[in-house]
A = this chain, B = another copy of it.
């Protein structure tokens, strides 16, 4: 794949994580990587195409990271790694999960982007569910799925609220409480 295409995706991801899909601008991206906005249209005919590929790549790379994480020895340690990703985004100039911020913009997303955002959620919930299998064997399957949804939602929420205050320690405090109350295995 061409360097330019990769540069577009990288700059676009960074921009969306910082300011959302709506604030994503072909001209801004072009300025950042040193090409004209028309050239970006060559690689991604429409903004929806770019947004969809962005979310697709994000999910794929997230999945790759989580698959690695699954191999770690401690089951609880898995969650440490998971929680760290979301914390990292905040540390990186108060950014958010790409799909979290896009979920807030749901109403303005082209359909093709919307489905990719859904896939990201599905991927995360499925991974969490599989992690819970060994940790909470006493839960019935449907309760385990609900728990996976709850954990994902709670983490996204902690990130959202912490971002709203530009204070990553609010994320830490929420997570600590999630673990103290055993929503998240500790």
Contacts and interface: CB of A to CB of B under 8 A. Distances in A.
Interface string A162-183: 1111100010011111101111
Query: How many of chain A's residues touch chain B, expressed as a range?
Result: 35 or more
A146 B174 CA distance: 6
Contact of A104 (B101, B118, B150): B101
Interface centre among A151, A164, A174, A178, by most chain B C-beta atoms within 10 angstroms, is A164
A26 B170 CA distance: 34
Contacts of A22: 20, 22-23
A163 B106 contact: yes
Contacts of A104: 20, 96, 100-101, 104-105, 160, 163-164
Contact of A103 (B145, B161, B175, B180): B161
B181 A23 contact: no
Nearest to A23: B108
A121 B153 contact: no
A78 interface: no
Nearest to A107: B19
Given A22-B23, A156-B157, A181 B150 contact: yes
Given A103-B164, A149-B177, 19 more contacts: A18-B107, A19-B105, A23-B107, A104-B160, A104-B163, A121-B161, A121-B164, A146-B173, A146-B174, A146-B180, A149-B170, A150-B154, A150-B174, A151-B177, A153-B158, A153-B162, A154-B157, A154-B178, A183-B183
Interface of A: 18-20, 22-23, 94, 96, 99-108, 117-118, 121, 143, 145-147, 149-166, 170, 173-178, 180-183
